[in-house]
Structure 1
Amino acid sequence: MTAETPIKADPAAKTAVRRKPDWIRVKAPTSREFAETKKLMRSKKLHTVCEEAACPNIGECWSKRHATVMILGDTCTRACAFCNVKTGRPMKVDPLEPLHTAEACASMGLNHIVITSVDRDDLPDGGADQFVKVIKAIREMSPETTIEILTPDFRNKPGAIEKVAEARPDVFNHNLETVPRLYPTIRPGARYFHSLRLLDTVKKVDPTIFTKSGMMVGLGEERLEVSQVMDDMRMADIDFITMGQYLQPTPRHARVDRFVTPDEFKAYARMARGKGFLMVSATPLTRSSYHAGDDFAKLRATREKQLQAQEASQAVQ
């Protein structure tokens, strides 16, 4: 853990976890496919953000054999107030992780895979080289599989963003998570405008890569602040926005300010579409990789229609 990495001011502080409304509750996973997916992840010694971040959609996704692989270990060098991934001193990077990830992808027969990671401020490149190796391994073993990555911010790691973008994932995702005002308490190790520049840099390296970012709501943000974040995202040419309800993982994490209603999510989705995003996913249970494969297919189709319309317009002129 680096000296610059903040820790929650009072790790002993606890806040009662609020009871979830009916529209948030999900069934416990029980399917055979869920058990098989879990067994495969363990056999390849892989971690998943589905488990580590206590995702509410794990039962649905794993039953469909969709899992988001979390590379670079299971221990984060930061301690964000919203995140359930454990924090501390990480282990050494596993040199077999790219191969095992590619093998799991092939075994599951995935059309689309999502790769994320913990923050690794302890590494000179923040883990960028491991992302590149994983992308290359999947391309070699499953060339038809489309690849989506959800990266940390690579803050203070010169050249890391460019290195990963040059590996040409199909989707480059990095979440802004919340509005700038809440960064000091919710995401203290990150910087809002650095995260925006990251996604802008990806587009400069390769404009054909789809960029994606997500927000949690229910942390105390105001509607006008959310609108401004959307505008900032569009200024960075971000294609796809995801929005979901923040859920407090444990009493030691940031409290839920309120549960945003499904109708409010629909209103946010209309707002985002009006600002020009190619793709919008905004529901209480939306998470960055939820329905990622289906959403990618829609995203690609939308861009193709947009390009065809532009070509037709130019032909008329």
Structure 2
Amino acid sequence: MVVKPNWLRVKAPQWERVGNVKDILRDLHLNTVCEEASCPNIGECFHHGTATFLIMGPACTRACPYCDIDFEKKPVALDPTEPHRLAEAVRRMGLNHVVITSVNRDDLPDGGASQFVRCIEQIRILSSQTTIEVLIPDLCGNWEALETILQAAPEVINHNTETIPRLYKRVRPQGEYQRTLDLLMRSRQLAPWIYTKSGIMVGLGETDTEVREVMADLRQVDCDILTIGQYLQPTAKHLGVQDFVHPDQFATWQALGEEMGFLQIVSSPLTRSSYHAEQVQALMAKYPRAKPEL
């Protein structure tokens, strides 16, 4: 059994606050990626009254060997009440910033884009001051579906790169590295007022040079925000960890990202794509972007 280094150990959460968030989620019958994907930061995030909502699930149509979300269940029809229930949770939790992600729904013609739009619209109605980040799948390259999401005007559109090109076939077999870059590039071109974001995992066998090359590729498509975190094996049946990257290396990537021009880079062993996502509000204040009037 691989022993995690000290820097990957998390503090025990204060369960009173955690329990309150869980009560809201259970009452409204909502899924979170925090629970479904076995995130190590669940205690901290729930304690601070935040969560990353997982829509259209919990079953996924892809079987990425690093991810703990269930792909063996059969996807079900979209629930028309889900957007309202999610918005009600945002209201009850008093969230200033919310992250909405989803399972892959390759069985749907638009990949689930319309459900993202409905969630955004309902949050605007029930919690109009909340800023919205959507962490979307690649939509199988359906750029019309992407444009539909962009037209709903979330403040941040996030799509994770996950790993380096050399490891894609093993880590993300149904994904394509270039398609990920194309999605981020098109988002910038179609809606330049929306902040773009991506994230990668390390510890899967990549080299420092390969990480730097991915960072350069993301800047080439003008990605604003980058997260870099340590991959952790959810269960014995998932991909194994090749190495635990030292915090000093994460600090090096952090400094490099700042030099390369990312507006925000969060790089640490426990960083996840939506970890401390609310910090984007400070970025928005520093680098404001306004949607042009029609």
Report TM bin, short chain.
over 0.9
Contact conserved, 1:125 with 1:158, CA < 8 A, in 2? Answer: no
Within 5 Å, give how 1:49-68 maps onto structure 2. Answer: 49-68=33-52
Q: Distance in 2 between matches of 1:301 and 1:262?
A: 29
Contact conserved, 2:141 with 2:179, CA < 8 A, in 1? Answer: no
Secondary structure, counterpart of 1:155 in structure 2 = helix
Q: Distance in 2 between matches of 1:99 and 1:53?
A: 23
Instruction: Tell me, yes or no, if structure 1 residue 266 matches structure 2 residue 246.
Output: no
2:185 to 200, 206, 217: 200
> Shift in Å at residue 30 of structure 1?
4.1
Within 5 Å, give how 1:145-164 maps onto structure 2. Answer: 145-164=130-149
Structure 1 residue aligned with 2:121: 136
> Shift in Å at residue 298 of structure 1?
2.5
Structure 1 residue aligned with 2:18: 34
Within 5 Å, give how 1:1-317 maps onto structure 2. Answer: 18-88=2-72, 89-293=74-278, 295-304=279-288
Q: Distance in 1 between matches of 2:164 and 2:286?
A: 28
Contact conserved, 2:141 with 2:183, CA < 8 A, in 1? Answer: no
> Percent identical across equivalent pairs?
50
Contact conserved, 1:245 with 1:283, CA < 8 A, in 2? Answer: yes
Secondary structure, counterpart of 1:23 in structure 2 = helix
* 1:24-82 deviation per Cα after TM superposition (whole angstroms, max 9, x unaligned): 01134342110010010011110000000100000000011101100001011001111
> Shift in Å at residue 158 of structure 1?
4.5
Structure 2 residue aligned with 1:8: none
> Shift in Å at residue 299 of structure 1?
1.6
Consecutive unaligned residues of structure 1, counting only runs of 5 or more, are 1-15, 308-317
Contact conserved, 2:203 with 2:241, CA < 8 A, in 1? Answer: yes
Q: Distance in 1 between matches of 2:143 and 2:96?
A: 32
Q: Distance in 2 between matches of 1:199 and 1:158?
A: 11
Alignment length, in residue pairs?
A: 289
Q: TM-score, normalised by structure 1?
A: 0.89
Q: CA RMSD in A?
A: 1.4
Q: TM-score, normalised by structure 2?
A: 0.96
Equivalent AA in structure 2 for residue 248 of structure 1? Q
Q: Distance in 2 between matches of 1:178 and 1:70?
A: 21
Contact conserved, 1:166 with 1:205, CA < 8 A, in 2? Answer: no
Most deviating of 221-230 and 153-162: 153-162
> Shift in Å at residue 123 of structure 1?
0.6
Which structure would you say has the larger RCO, counting Cα contacts within 8 Å and 6 or more residues apart? Answer: 1
Secondary structure, counterpart of 2:109 in structure 1 = coil
